[in-house]
Amino acid sequence: MKAAVLNAFGEPLAIQTLPDPTPGAGSVVVDVAAAGVTSYAANVFNGSRSYRLELPAAPGPGCIGRVREAGPDATQLKAGDWVFCEPTIRSRDEPSDTILQGWTYRTDAALPLHRLYHHGAYAEQMLAATENITRLGDIDPADAGRWCALSRLLVPYGGLLAGDLRAGETVLVSGATGGFGGAGVAVALAMGAAKVVASGRNERTLDDLVRRLGPRVRAVAMTGVEADDRRRILEAAAGRIDLVLDFLPREASAAQVQAAILAVGQGGRIVLMGGVRSDLALNYNVLMHREITLRGAWMYPRDAIPRMVRMVRAGLIDLAHFELTEFPMDQANAAVAHAAANAGPRQLTVLRPDRGATG
Ligand SMILES: NC(=O)c1ccc[n+]([C@@H]2O[C@H](COP(=O)([O-])OP(=O)(O)OC[C@H]3O[C@@H](n4cnc5c(N)ncnc54)[C@H](OP(=O)(O)O)[C@@H]3O)[C@@H](O)[C@H]2O)c1
């Protein structure tokens, strides 16, 4: 099979021939149709993110594809089924040992998993763990790229499930102008939030969120002054905030985080999902008297995947909101550069290994 291979950090991806994978017990081989390219893929590939990834490898976390051959223990999957391949693989003897297939292994203990499921989705075929496969039902092959949005939507869905969002509640999404935050606004609406306060600094992107997602979204521009920003958030909410979903990135300051999370109301929940590195100064008395629950969340539970597929099928989430740009496999490096230059809540950059693997 042809694959876009990273041979060394800092080198471009090279189209090379790799051996075809073969399924065993517990695995499935998928013909990859479409694979998402994240905005920070360039930083993973140039080594600046210091991801644990043994090279050479065909990277690519997750895909949309069709079952080519299922292992002998699969009871339902059939050749030709359209599927979503989830990249998080958990060790069967210790579920906290995880890898993101084709992306990184999180601890040394997870290295055997990384070596077994070594290559990711930037390849014509991919070996996937059977339990990581979710059937989509019939889709138009032309829509395979758009279905890659599942990966974007599932991450905030995991946070909103962790925060126990209920219909009729008010949610604040902090970092709503980013890729995962913007998706979080759409998912919170789909789950029945009465209001979603969307905060960020980029006013154009905030306006676009309101225009696309409707009047339940209340956009609020952040200034960087903690007390002012908290006041603006509360004014936009015009009532109590039940749940805060924070997606601020590594570069954001503690004051930016605090402005948002401390706007939560009595009995509220705060879910931290971003990449912030600084320590927070939390007001003990406020947390105690308001009976606030603060938790982190990483990714999403497995049963979130078929639920999200059903939400899309039911029209609660409209994949047409994503602005899709697709690249054939032999333009993998152009795809990575495009994704880096076009980060944002609407943008979806997708590699199509089913097209143009000519190198
Ligand atoms: N927990 C998980 O399972 C999980 C999964 C995936 C990703 N993540 C993390 O989620 C975070 C967000 O990812 P993303 O892909 O959505 O990022 P992104 O698209 O780059 O968005 C980040 C947003 O943060 C805002 N921002 C606020 N303060 C900033 C500052 N000081 N510098 C730069 N940007 C700032 C920017 O919007 P404005 O300019 O409008 O403020 C930007 O749109 C990352 O840290 C990522 O590692 C977590």
Under a CB-based contact definition with an 8 Å cutoff, are residues 197 and 241 in contact? yes
pTM for this one? 0.95
How many other C-beta atoms lie within 10 A of the C-beta of residue 284? 7
Closest CA to ligand 1's atom 36: 178
The secondary structure of residue 132, as a DSSP letter, is G
Under a CB-based contact definition with an 8 Å cutoff, are residues 325 and 342 in contact? yes
Position in ligand 1 atom list of the atom nearest CA 250: 45
Position in ligand 1 atom list of the atom nearest CA 40: 15
Say whether 164-296 and 2-152+319-352 share the same fold.
no
What per-residue confidence (pLDDT) applies to 157? 98
The secondary structure of residue 13, as a DSSP letter, is P
Fold exhibited by the domain 2-152+319-352: Quinone Oxidoreductase; Chain A, domain 1 (3.90.180)
pLDDT digits 0-9 by tens, 275-332: 999 999 889 999 999 999 999 999 999 999 999 999 999 999 999 999 999 999 999 9
> Which has the closest alpha carbon to 190: 312, 324, 301, 321?
312
> Which has the closest alpha carbon to 175: 187, 184, 166?
184
What per-residue confidence (pLDDT) applies to 313? 97
Q: What is the DSSP string of 206-234?
A: HHHHHHHH-TTEEEEE--S-HHHHHHHHH
3-state secondary structure (DSSP) of residue 187:
helix
Q: Which residues line ligand 1 (CB under 6 A)?
A: 39, 155, 175, 177-181, 200-202, 205, 247-252, 256, 273-275, 297-299, 343
Ligand 1 pocket test: pick from 247, 253, 271, 347 the residue with the most ligand atoms within 8 Å of its Cβ. 247
What is the C-alpha to C-alpha distance for residues 115 and 18, in angstroms, rounded to an integer?
Answer: 15
User: What contacts 200, CB < 8 A, 6 or more positions away?
Assistant: 174, 175, 176, 177, 178, 181, 206, 221, 222
pLDDT tier at 357 (50, 70, 90 boundaries)?
low
Ligand 1 pocket test: pick from 40, 106, 177 the residue with the most ligand atoms within 8 Å of its Cβ. 177
pLDDT digits 0-9 by tens, 171-210: 999 999 999 999 999 999 999 999 999 999 999 999 999 9
Give the Å distance between the CA of 74 and the centre of ligand 1: 38
Q: Please state the domain extents for the chain.
A: 2-152+319-352, 164-296
Position in ligand 1 atom list of the atom nearest CA 345: 19
CA angle 194, 197, 202 (to 5 degrees): 150
3-state helix, strand, coil in the chain (%, to 5): 30, 25, 45
Under a CB-based contact definition with an 8 Å cutoff, are residues 158 and 300 in contact? yes
Under a CB-based contact definition with an 8 Å cutoff, are residues 74 and 28 in contact? yes
The burial class, CB within 10 Å (0-12 / 13-18 / 19+), for 62 is buried
> Which has the closest alpha carbon to 64: 91, 87, 88, 41?
87
What is the C-alpha to C-alpha distance for residues 252 and 135, in angstroms, rounded to an integer?
Answer: 38
Q: What average pLDDT does range 120-130 have in this prediction? A: 98
Pick the CATH number of 164-296 from 1.10.10.10, 3.30.360.10, 3.40.50.720, 3.40.50.300: 3.40.50.720
What per-residue confidence (pLDDT) applies to 119? 98
Under a CB-based contact definition with an 8 Å cutoff, are residues 332 and 122 in contact? yes
pLDDT at 23 over 60: yes
What per-residue confidence (pLDDT) applies to 359? 43
What is the C-alpha to C-alpha distance for residues 82 and 30, in angstroms, rounded to an integer?
Answer: 9
> Residue 67 is encoded by which pair of tokens?
């079952």
To 10 degrees, the CA torsion angle through 258, 264, 266, 268?
A: -110
What is the C-alpha to C-alpha distance for residues 56 and 90, in angstroms, rounded to an integer?
Answer: 22
Give the Å distance between the CA of 341 and the centre of ligand 1: 14
Ligand 1 pocket test: pick from 44, 273, 278 the residue with the most ligand atoms within 8 Å of its Cβ. 273
3-state secondary structure (DSSP) of residue 78:
coil
pLDDT at 358 over 70: no
Strand 195-200's sheet: what is its strand order?
217-221, 195-200, 170-174, 243-246, 269-272, 293-296
pLDDT digits 0-9 by tens, 238-285: 999 999 999 999 999 999 999 999 999 999 999 999 999 999 988 999
- Helices 149-162 and 304-313 meet at what angle, rounded to 10? 120
Position in ligand 1 atom list of the atom nearest CA 344: 19
What per-residue confidence (pLDDT) applies to 315? 97
Q: What average pLDDT does range 34-53 have in this prediction? A: 96
What per-residue confidence (pLDDT) applies to 178? 94
